[in-house]
Amino acid sequence: MEDIWRQLEAELDRAKSLPEIEQVRIKYLGRKGVITVLAKNTDFGKLSAEEKKSFGQRLNSLKSRAEEAVRAAAERASREAVPQDGATGGPDLSLPGTDRRLGAMHPISLVQRELEDIFQGMGFRVLTGYEVETEYYNFDALNIPPDHPARDMQDTFWLEDGRLLRTHTSANQVRALEQFGAPIRAIFPGRCFRNEAMDASHENTFYQLEGLLVDRDISVAHLIGVMKTLLSAVFHKEVTVRLRPGFFPFVEPGFELDVQCLICGGVGCATCKRSGWIELIPCGLVHPRVLEFGRVDTSAFSGFAFGLGLTRLAMMKFGIPDIRLFNSGDIRFCEQFPVSM
Amino acid sequence: MKISLDWISDFVDLEGVPPHELAERLTLATAEVEDIHPVRRHTQGVLVGRVTACEAIEGQPPDGLKRVEVDCGARRYESVCGAPNVTLGMVSAFAPAGITLAGGVVITEQTLAGRRSEGVLCSAAELGMSHWHEGILEIPESMPVGTPLDTLIPPEDVVIEIDNKSLTHRPDLWGHYGFAREIAVILDRPLKSLPIYDLSQFESLPPYPLEVASFDDCPCYGCIDLRFRAGVPSPLWMQRRLHALGQRTFNLAVDVTNYVMWELAQPTHAFDGDRLRKIRVASLGEEGVFVTLDGQERRILPDDLLIWNEKEPVALAGIMGGLHSEVSRETQHVLLECANFRADRVRRTSVRLDLRTEAAQRFEKSQPPANVVAAAGRILHCLILADEPFQALSRFTVAGDPDAGHRPLLMDWAQVDRMAGITVPRDEARRILIGLGFQVASRQGLLELGIPPHRSRRDLSIPADVVEEILRIYGYGRIEPRLPVAPLEHLPVNEGLQREHRVRRVLAGAHQFVEVQNYIWFDLRRLEELGFEPQDCLRLRNPPARHNVALRTTLVPNLLALVRPNRAHRDGFRLFEIGRVFRAADQGRQERTFLAGVAYQPARSDPEELVRGIRGALEDLALSLAGSAFRFEPAREDVSPWWKRGSSLVIHGDSGTVGAIGLLTGDVLKAVVPDGQVAWFELDLEALPVVVHPAVKYAAIPIFPGSWQDFSLLWDAARGFAELESVLDRFVHPLIARREFLYRFKGKGLPPGKASYTFRYHLAAPDHTLSAEEIDAFRGEFLRHLQSHQIVLR
């Protein structure tokens, strides 16, 4: 009888679904089940009263234990069962969700917001300027000489009224200095425009983020320190940077800041054109003439400025191969960037 | 800019410095290296030979071949040559059979046009010197025949290519000597001086007649009248270096001017001296035509600067010489021009004419006038190196100021450390400055400097410029990064940006809008299709395309233009854009940030649902931005093809009109999309209050249970919901906690033209549970109000 019990237990253990458990029940407790047959086939007449009593008790116990085990197994199975189809009559919880109301934000919005957060965390204020700018703020006040090629019609979109579409967010530098004076820590994200022929890596409309920090005794060491901190926050890991000479009329000294290639780690790959470095941020100490235009006392204050290509950063961050996608209005592009801010 | 390391080695010892290491150090200290090209020439086994017989082969195709004999000293070779410049008596390069030339061509003995050929006379291209193959190499006659060519032209060189964009401020680096100076300082090795012929020995000669109309356009002009054999081949050391940089060689006079330009960055020009009597530097003063030495007719504007021989123009100043004063093979008399021209004058003319010559590129960078004298002296020295005798017919005549002295500058030593953020050893700083050509004296913490004349005033004039010179050579990599320290202060958030970000969160986060960005100019072709004539546009003088001349005054048309392409990809969608719009008329506030959106759904859907969907989004937006609701009122006038009476609502905020919302109908809908439904909205974001964190007044949660009552009202559907709502608004009752619109029913069982509108009134009292009597009284009053407006319950 104990063998029967152990076998039953083992089979119930294997039976996971209700139909399988039913099979087990029929095998042991059905009309021709093992236990039923055992009871039927036992000739109680041959047994002593003592034996009759003992055997009867054991048989009843086995039967009730078996019934209880089958019931418990069935209950467990129905509790665990996930309705697989409507045939069971219960709700089909495997259907996909509805009422999904999430749209998408433009990739520039996401990157801009991320950088605003980083810089605000470092104590920079966020300022915006004008897309239609005067020649004074875009060029003159940045120490860009009157005959500089950047002022040409080939490079700058000029308005009939003599103003222009800003060619860089640096146009905000002197505006900010005039408004807030020194010391100042500020970034200026915004849209810029250049009269360029368009291809996969050139757009006439793109985003930059300019940064300006003016305080007492600001040095190249500070510039490198802030850039390293910024880039480590942007790329979520420690980055290696290097400065090399770069020329921009509104900084002196001027630099190109390279970041060690994040793809190959500096060994050289296609992304970094096998140089191990990626040119990322033009920057420099603010030219004294620019500070003077901003009415800052150059004997007391110095500063640094940098220009981040927001569009370029978004291309790197999201792996976007063609800059023209940003202004395409193609929903297949724009909807790829879910709300994350 | 390309630099040949063979050439640099004239001035600095490059022993033990691999080219890639040199390139890296130049990138970090001076200018970005773009590429390193190894040069491999095939001069081994090639001999200098003189053509001792040269006759045309008649009647044997191919035409134009000549039978030649070449005397190579130890042996005389027979050959066949097709080069147009082969002549009897000339000296050239001969590759006998067995020699391998560029491209792996192995020379063999063969019969060509019926004549024996024991080798070939070679072009520069065949020798792997350059791409030029218009003729065979021309070698000065004085070169002994039989000389192995590889003793004159070493087989190997390395050319380093520098990114021109990183040299715009460094006119001195457009020549090899400038780079040699940088490399010497970077490697801390001595720089050999550049031998220059002393021009002062011609002071006793008469000046050349010279007149400069304006020193503004031409700060300094120098020239000297010379007699020498200008048309002979230049020496091979000169030719090989010009070829290594991809330059073509012509004759001694032209090659020596190019050579010195590539050495000192100073362009010069050799005129045929017989054609000139007097030099005048002046603009044309009127429009005209000038034929440059490439044979092209060039249109000249009144203020383009020209070089004149009396009344005849002979060169486009600083760009290109004229055809009629070019040096030829027979020229024996040369007027050598060494001049300085104003950068932007040269640039304007050369850009307009699309004549971006090597000379123009250099003048555009503001060459220092000091090189006017240096280049002339260097050219004469090179003639001596070339073993070519010359005679001066005039003194070196100069008009204007060569500005050849060191320029004084006094600065504080401490400024170097202050700007660097580290202590830079003064000995090291002094070594760097001296190496770069500065005069350096140090006194009581002050640095007394003489800025070298070869450096442009634009590039070097203030102490910060000097600090850059020190630090870039010292090494930016040696500066330990540090973070600035600033006092704790409160920085106000940018409320405008906060508002924009909040709009994005509401529309994209809760209402399925997708954010797009469009260009800031209209597409006039699209506006015409829409029937929209924008007013008060700012206009571009040089638009990206003719139909993009006007800046947008509204975001809607560019968004509408996105409907048609995107409906190919999605059944329905909602797009929005936050961007600037511009109006010429709004004094002071010409540029504003607007928000606009479009929604599209297929034709068979319910257009009311389309509009209600985006209106719901805007209602959420109002609550989130300002904490108060928008009011929507039917448009009373046609503002644009899309903002029209009957299909638009004007949106009002607390401060007045802030925008509009509508459904496209009729022609404008057809212009946007052939089928389907389109709704739009536009808001002036700056007209909305900037409330980053709107104040919210808590309303007490009722303690006593309220009740709600539903009413289905029959109303003339044509009169619209808004009018019905205003009727209901006029019913004020103290028990009303809230009114809710549930649904509208149109259809069977209703009187014609009527629709049933079901509202739910939530009733409550703050201090007790409502009694049945109170509710009945409310119903009675409400029904009387409805009756007074002829509204019956369904």
Instruction: Read off the pLDDT of each residue in A5-19 and give the average, rounded to a whole number.
Output: 84
Q: Name the percent of chain B in helix, strand, coil, to the closest 5.
A: 30, 30, 45
**Two tokens, residue A142:** 């940045």
What are the DSSP calls for B423-440, one per residue? Answer: PPPHHHHHHHHHHTT-EE
> Containing H/E element for B184?
helix B176-187
Hey, are the CB atoms on A123 and B491 less than 8 Å from each other? yes
What pLDDT does residue A55 have?
Answer: 82
Q: Does domain B707-793 have CATH number 3.30.70.380?
A: yes
- In sequence order, the 6+-apart residues with CB closer than 8 A to the CB of B200 are none
3-state secondary structure B645-670: CCCEEEEEECCEEEEEEEECCHHHHH
A6 CA to chain B: closest CA distance, Å?
59
Contacts of A105 in chain B (CB under 8 A): 504, 508, 515
Of chain B, the end-to-end C-alpha distance in Å amounts to 88
How wide is the angle at C-alpha B623 spanned by C-alphas B620 and B625, nearest 5°?
A: 105
Which residues in chain B have their CB less than 8 angstroms from residue A250's CB? none
Instruction: Locate B110 and state its tokens.
Output: 């063969």
CB contact under 8 A, B497 and A123: no
The per-residue pLDDT for B231 is: 93
**Would an 8 Å CB–CB cutoff place B32 in contact with chain A?**
yes
Find chain B residues with C-beta within 8 A of A335's C-beta. Answer: 514
Q: Please give the CATH topology (third level) of the domain spanning B2-36+161-187.
A: Phenylalanyl-tRNA Synthetase; Chain B, domain 1 (3.30.56)
Residue B663 has a CB neighbour count (10 Å cut-off) of: 21
Across the interface, whether the CB atoms of B491 and A252 are under 8 A apart is answered: no
Contact (CB, 8 A) for B289 and B300: yes
> What's the token pair of residue B71?
């005397």
Task: Report the alpha-carbon distance of residue A190 to residue A109 in Å, rounded.
Answer: 11
Chain A residue numbers with beta carbons less than 8 Å from the beta carbon of B540 are 157-160, 165
Chain A touched by B343 (CB under 8 Å): yes
The CATH number given to B408-478 is: 3.30.56.10
Question: What's phi and psi for B392, nearest 5 deg?
Answer: -85, 135
What CATH architecture applies to the domain B199-400?
3-Layer(bba) Sandwich (3.50)
Contacts of A191 in chain B (CB under 8 A): 520, 580
- In B201-283, the DSSP E strands lie at 210-212, 220-227, 268-272, 279-283
The segment(s) of chain B belonging to CATH 2.40.50.140 are 47-153
A75: CB partners within 8 A, 6+ apart: none
- B540 and chain A in contact, CB less than 8 A: yes
Retrieve residue A152's tokens: 């040409």
Contact indicator for A260, A266 with CB cutoff of 8 Å = yes
Q: DSSP of A142-185, one letter per residue?
A: GT--TT-GGGSTTTSPBBTTS-EE-SSGGGHHHHHHHHH-SSEE
Listing DSSP states for B431-484 in one string gives: HHHHHTT-EEEEETTEEEEEE-TTS-TTTS-SHHHHHHHHHHHH-GGGSPP---
| The two structure tokens encoding residue B204 | 């006793």
Question: Can you tell me which residue has the tokens 């050849």?
Answer: B404
**Which stretches of chain B drop beneath a pLDDT of 70?**
586-589
**Upper half-sphere CA count for residue A332 (Cβ side, 13 Å):** 6
pLDDT-derived band of residue A74, with 50, 70 and 90 as boundaries? confident
pLDDT at position B586 is 63
Starting at the edge strand found earlier in the chain, the sheet holding B33-40 runs B2-4, B156-162, B33-40
**pLDDT given for residue B306 in this prediction:** 95
Cis peptide before A253 (omega within 30 of 0): yes
Measured between CA atoms, the residue of chain B closest to residue A103 is B512
Q: Which of B27, B29, B517 sits opposite A106 (nearest CB)?
A: B517
């006379």: which residue's tokens?
B121
> Which range, of A5-19, A238-252, B235-249, B551-565, averages the lowest pLDDT?
A5-19
Overall CATH class of domain B495-687:
alpha beta
pLDDT at A22 over 90: no
Task: Say if residue A87's pLDDT is above 60.
Answer: no
Sequence ranges of chain B with CATH classification 3.30.70.380: 707-793
Token readout for B494 is: 């940018």
* 480-509 in chain B: CB under 8 A from chain A: 480-484, 486, 489, 491-494, 496-497, 501, 504-505, 507-509
B393 CB-contact burial (10 Å; exposed 0-12 / middle 13-18 / buried 19+):
middle
Beta-strand pair A125-126/A184-193: parallel
User: How far is the C-alpha of A129 from the C-alpha of A136, rounded, in Å?
Assistant: 14
**Domain limits, CATH 3.30.930.10, in chain B:** 495-687
Alpha helices in B592-720 (DSSP H): 607-626, 666-672
What phi, psi does B219 have (nearest 5°)?
A: -60, -25
Structure tokens at A17: 């679904």
**C-alpha distances in angstroms, A317 versus A111, A229, A234?**
9, 17, 9
Q: What is the mean pLDDT of residues A5-20?
A: 84
How large is the average pLDDT for residues A134-147? 93
Other C-beta atoms closer than 10 Å to the C-beta of B290 total: 20
**Sign of the four-CA dihedral B534, B538, B540, B543:** negative
Cβ pair B603, B676 in contact under 8 A: yes
Q: From B185, B165, B162, B193, select the one nearest B264 (Cα to Cα).
A: B193
Q: What is the mean pLDDT of residues A281-299?
A: 96
Q: Is the pLDDT of residue A85 over 80?
A: no
Residue B270 has a CB neighbour count (10 Å cut-off) of: 25
Cα-Cα-Cα-Cα torsion B529, B532, B536, B540, nearest 10 degrees, comes to -10
Q: Do B540 and A302 touch (CB under 8 A)?
A: no
Integer-rounded Cα radius of gyration of chain A: 38
| Mean pLDDT computed over every residue of chain A | 89
Q: Please state which of the four CATH numbers 2.40.50.140, 3.30.70.580, 3.30.1490.20, 1.10.40.30 is assigned to the domain occupying B47-153.
A: 2.40.50.140
How many CB pairs (< 8 A) connect A and B?
A: 220
